[in-house]
Chains A and B, each alone.
Chain A
Amino acid sequence: MELSWSTFILEIINFLVLVWILQRFLYKPVLEVIARRKAGIEQTLAESARIREDATALKAQYEARLADWDTERRAAREALARELEAQRAGKLVEMQADIAEEREKSRVSEARRQADIEHKLEETALDQAARFAKSLLQQASGPELEARLVEMVITELSQLPEERITALRKSYGTSPESIMVTSAYPLSDDRRQRLAQALQQATGSDAPMQMEQDADLLAGLRITRGPWVIGANLRDELEGFVTLTHDR
């Protein structure tokens, strides 16, 4: 445990040299690189902070834009709702008008259909009535009824007024060669002669009268002079009755 002054001084010098060596080759370069890295990190942090601020600003802008969009969306939705309500009201009015029109059409159609049904029923009833009357008249007809009808025709022709005879003769035009008289039963000579005289008197023509027999007439006469036909028989009367009903 001796104190060597040489060692003491040399150790002091050695240590001072060591401090210089470490400062020159270790502390200074290492601290510089650490400082550079810290500066880089701080720069990165500053850049990150700036980016974050930008992101925050963008976020705020985006949120404001979203709020604007939301407001616009609500306004557009309200406008759309109003427009839809208006259209709905208009459509409702149109629909009610259509319904009323359709209802009226349906009512008219129903009335027409009812009228048609009634008409068909009426026609059916008339047909049935005509068939019934025809059947009844077929059973009730006979020479007596025809005789009365012939007599009624002769009487009618004989008692025609003058102006009617004139109009009748004008309507005949040219005189035909003969007058066809159809009857359901054979006529007696007396009635045939009186009928011919009545026809000559009414038409003013002396065309011969040809006789023909047709049982479908049931009873009575059918006088045919060219296009002019006088139906004085039950069949023509029934058909005229039915035709008149159909044409009504």
Chain B
Amino acid sequence: MQEGNLNIEPAIQLGPVVITNTVITTWVIMAAVWLLAWLASRSLREDPGSLQAASEGVVSAIEEAVEAVAPEHGRQIMPFVASLWVFLVIANLSGLIPGVHSPTRDLSATAGLAFLVFLSTHWFGIRIQGLRSYLRHYLTPSPILLPFHIISEITRTIALAVRLFGNMMSLEMAALLILLVAGFLAPVPILMLHIVEALVQAYIFGMLALIYVASSIQSQQLRQQKEV
């Protein structure tokens, strides 16, 4: 791990489109996930094997977590939230592979994911409650709070992006600094911390996204129930 590796380096330049190593790592992760998903689902049986049992366990656990937060619309938002968890776990842990940088230590990637969370919050809210009903919640309990609602939406999205980026980048930087100062085997405890931190950050990002989406749906439902 060298100092230059902390920077986001362009790998391919296609006119105005710059493909960085973050994007390439993401593609590799996508390919790996696709291959794994295909292997797990190509011969599903009532009597599951070990790979099918593991995939069923992961999917069931995520579905239960989503259903616990949004019981009425869990099936609709589960693919998005579950994909966030799956991608972030793999992406965060990919930094442990020598020569590979985690995509989540790139602010552009975390900002893209946070922006998707921002869009999905409104998308699910409008899709389930309708546009007028959804937009009305910005004016409740008082229209005076509209600016605060807008600021809240923007800041929490920025916070999502920066939190994940900052944690993952700081982890890699700390490991690099310890490696430079103490030697080759010293960063091992830091790498263990990296595993825990990667899982925790993936969980926090996905859970916050789930809470944002669920709150955008259920706040409208609560308001409608009060009006009824």
Contact = CB atoms under 8 A, between A and B. Distances in A.
Contact of B46 (A5, A9, A33): A33
A161 to B, nearest CB: 144
Contacts, number: 119
Contacts of B38: 25
Contacts of A5: 108
Given A15-B83, A26-B40, A34 B30 contact: no
Contact of A8 (B40, B112, B169): B112
B116 interface: yes
A53 interface: no
Contacts of A17: 30
Given A25-B37, A37-B46, A10 B83 contact: no
Contact of B41 (A1, A19, A26): A26
Nearest to B108: A7
A16 B80 CA distance: 9
B146 interface: no
Main SS class of interface, B? helix
Contact of B111 (A8, A18, A22, A27): A8
A102 interface: no
Given A7-B18, A7-B109, A29 B44 contact: yes
Given A22-B33, A23-B79, A30 B111 contact: no
A11 B109 CA distance: 6
Interface string B1-37: 0000000100000001111101100110010011001
Nearest to A4: B108
Interface in A19-54: 19, 21-23, 25-27, 29-34, 36-37, 40
Contacts of B165: 1
B207 interface: no
Residue of A27, A37, A40 most packed against chain B (CB within 10 A): A27
Given A8-B112, A40-B46, 15 more contacts: A3-B107, A4-B106, A4-B108, A6-B20, A8-B109, A11-B26, A12-B112, A15-B87, A18-B30, A22-B82, A23-B83, A25-B37, A29-B41, A33-B56, A34-B59
Interface of A: 1-12, 14-19, 21-23, 25-27, 29-34, 36-37, 40
27 contacts: A2-B108, A3-B108, A3-B111, A4-B106, A5-B108, A7-B22, A7-B108, A7-B109, A8-B109, A9-B112, A10-B17, A10-B19, A11-B22, A11-B26, A11-B103, A14-B30, A15-B113, A21-B34, A22-B37, A22-B82, A25-B41, A27-B82, A29-B41, A31-B59, A33-B44, A33-B56, A37-B46
